[in-house]
Amino acid sequence: MGLDIGVNACEQFCNVIMHSKTILWNGPMGVFEMEKFQHGTKCVASAVAGVTQKGAFSLVGGGDSVSAVNQFGFANKVSYISTGGGALLEYFEGKTLPGIAAIQE
């Protein structure tokens, strides 16, 4: 059972994040609700917040990811938060979302 990412994976994710201009984050890195397994998620959240403060655009999507940035105090340090994780991804895939279709008719 994978409960968190390791140190090397965390470093690799953070390196990519720190060189990015746009970040779409959907899903925590592990069981961040448990202190023992929150390192990876906290590391990524910190990197996303840090690069956002340097001018990148960051979108955090999904209830668990939103809970993580709130828990670690980064909610005000990212560009945008959306609790609709699956719908957000489907929108970016180009799918028609029922709620949007209804108001466009």
Q: Which of 7, 93, 90, 97 is nearest to 44 (CA)?
A: 7
Q: Do residues 78 and 69 lie in contact, with contact meaning Cβ atoms separated by under 8 Å?
A: yes
* Nearest-angstrom CA–CA distance, 45 and 28: 9
Q: What is the pLDDT of residue 1?
A: 85
Is pTM beyond 0.75? Reply is yes
**Residues in contact with 34: Cβ distance below 8 Å, sequence separation at least 6, in sequence order:** 3
Angle at 41 between CA 37 and CA 46, to 5 degrees: 135
Domains of the chain: 7-104 (3.40.50.1260)
Q: Is 101 exposed, middle or buried (0-12, 13-18, 19+ CB in 10 A)?
A: exposed
Which amino acid type is present at position 17?
A: I
Amino acid letter, 43: C
Q: Which pLDDT tens digits describe the chain residue by residue (105 residues)?
A: 889 999 999 999 999 999 999 999 999 999 999 999 999 999 999 999 999 999 999 999 999 999 999 999 999 999 999 988 888 888 889 998 888 889 987
pLDDT of residue 99: 85
